[in-house]
Amino acid sequence: MALESVLIGKGIIDPAALAALVEHYGRDVGPHIGAKVVARAWTDPEFCAELLENGTDALWSMGIGGVLTSMIKIVANSPTDHHLVVCTLCSCYPWPVLGLPPSWYKSPEYRSRVAVDPRGVLKEFGIELSDDVKVHVWDSIADQRYMVLPERPAGTEGWSIEQLETIVTRNAMIGTEILAPQSGTAPEVQA
């Protein structure tokens, strides 16, 4: 805040432009956008098929687009396949649907190790997959980004799209988290 105050005071940053940027990242960009995509895919088989066939067009149909989603492939986790996303050269990342990349995603350790030891990296995230589950590592590049469609957790049958959105995480859409089965009642969604 002190740096922001100094930059505004020196006229380097326009407070209105800064407020608009903060508003944009809070409203139009972030994992809450990806969660909307995932929840819709879980509840709409036609949309899910379109999403897996052509992620870019499916996102456009939801009003989500732009340069960072112009070439996006959605890969679906299943009981036999687990997908994991990385960018080994830099930090290519679908910002519009996942928000700002986590620091570990950009770290040299993650970027180098996930390609050669994905099960070891997943284990560090608390995911131990059985040997019969195939792990796929998708390496994003400047003109091809990836997002994981996590498996829908058991116990969420009958939940609304809004309720499903609340359990989807950025890490699940990268592949470093498996959404846990739910018990009890669906979460209340605040309007």
Give the pLDDT confidence of 27-65 residue by residue, as tens digits.
667 899 999 999 999 999 999 999 999 999 999 999 988
Sign of CA dihedral 58, 61, 63, 66: positive
Residue 100 tokens, joined = 């700002």
In a domain, 72, yes or no: yes
Q: What is the residue type of 188?
A: E
**Per-residue pLDDT, 22:** 61
In a domain, 22, yes or no: no
In a domain, 8, yes or no: no
**Per-residue pLDDT, 48:** 98
Specify the 3-state DSSP secondary structure of 76.
strand
For residue 161, the enclosing domain spans 27-174
pTM (2 d.p.) = 0.85
Residue 156 burial (CB < 10 Å; 0-12/13-18/19+)? Answer: middle
CB–CB of 2/66 below 8 Å? Answer: no
Q: What is the residue type of 69?
A: T
Output the domain CATH number for residue 114: 3.90.330.10
In a domain, 5, yes or no: no
In a domain, 183, yes or no: no
Does the annotation place 48 within a ligand binding site? no
Residues with a catalytic annotation lie at: 87, 90-92
pLDDT at position 98 over 70: yes
Residue 146 burial (CB < 10 Å; 0-12/13-18/19+)? Answer: buried
> In which residue are the tokens 């679908």 written?
94
Length of the chain: 191
How many domains, the chain? 1
In a domain, 191, yes or no: no
pLDDT in tens, 103-151: 999 999 999 999 999 999 999 999 999 999 999 999 998 889 999 999 9
In a domain, 15, yes or no: no
94 or 190: which leads in pLDDT: 94
In a domain, 82, yes or no: yes
Separation of alpha carbons 71 and 69, rounded Å: 5
Does the annotation place 91 within a ligand binding site? yes
95 or 53: which leads in pLDDT: 53
> In which residue are the tokens 């005071």 written?
9
Average pLDDT, the chain: 90
